[in-house]
């Protein structure tokens, strides 16, 4: 019972989470040879949906600037990023079930829905311009000695600071 309370139920200190994430990221990179990214997987899902509708996405200018990182035999749906993303979801689900904190969350009101959609769209657009989200462009980039990770980090803190000020002053 003590183990359950301490390890499963109570939130871990931030430093424990940080160390674990760092170690797991090294293991992932060493065992798969690919950096951890999240939103690239969603990009591929979106592309496969657009292709279903008849668009030819490979002609887009974006894909002549940014390299397509799929391996031989991988498709927009069946690839490294899809498996990693599903694994994150399954892992998170197991963790909340184990702590018996699983809950379906409702949308609170129309305001939350609209701001959520708007925020999601500009975040998605931003991740495509910056080689990924705060996992791909920051968390995986800095340990890989890529300069863009540091540029991303500076502007992420600037953005979070301004965003919090706006949220606090106008939206709460």
**Residues at the contact surface with other proteins, assessed by CB under 8 A:** 11, 96, 100-103, 105-108, 112, 164, 167-168, 172
CA 154 to chain centre: 18
Question: Could you tell me the smallest distance in angstroms from the CB atom of residue 62 to other proteins?
Answer: 30
CB 83 within 8 A of CB 45: no
* Residue among 51 and 101 whose Cβ is closer to other proteins: 101
Give me the least distance between CB of 117 and other proteins, in Å please.
14
Distance CA 62, CA 13 (A): 40
| Residue that the structure tokens 């798969």 belong to | 32
From the CB of 39, what's the least distance to other proteins, in Å? 18
DSSP states along 93-140: HHHHHHTT---PPPP--HHHHHHHHHHHHHHHHHHHHTTSSIIIIIIT
Closest distance between other proteins and the C-beta of residue 145, in Å? 30
Between residues 72 and 105, which has the closer beta carbon with respect to other proteins? 105
Q: What tokens appear for 137 in the block?
A: 């462009």
CB nearer to other proteins: pick between 72 and 169: 169
Least distance (Å) from other proteins to the CB of residue 17? 10
* Choice between 131 and 139, CB closer to other proteins: 139
Work out the burial of residue 48: count CB atoms within 10 Å of its CB; fewer than 13 is exposed, 13-18 middle, 19 or more buried. middle
Nearer to other proteins among residue 14 and residue 61 (C-beta): 14
């Amino acid at each position: 019972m003590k183990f359950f309370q301490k390890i499963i139920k109570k939130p871990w200190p931030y430093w424990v989470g940080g160390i674990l994430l760092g170690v797991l990221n090294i293991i992932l990179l060493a065992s798969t040879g690919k950096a951890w990214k999240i939103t690239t997987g969603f990009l591929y899902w979106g592309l496969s949906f657009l292709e279903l509708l008849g668009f030819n996405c490979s002609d887009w200018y974006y894909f002549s600037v940014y390299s397509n990182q799929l391996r031989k035999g991988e498709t927009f749906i069946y690839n490294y990023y899809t498996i990693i993303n599903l694994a994150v979801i399954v892992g998170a689900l197991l963790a909340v079930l184990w702590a018996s904190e699983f809950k379906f969350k409702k949308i609170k009101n129309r305001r939350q829905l609209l701001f959520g959609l708007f925020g999601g769209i500009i975040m998605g657009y931003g991740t495509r311009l910056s080689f990924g989200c705060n996992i791909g462009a920051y968390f995986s980039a800095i340990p890989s000695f890529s300069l863009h990770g540091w540029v991303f980090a500076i502007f992420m803190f600037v953005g979070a600071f301004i965003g919090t000020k706006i949220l606090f002053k106008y939206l709460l």
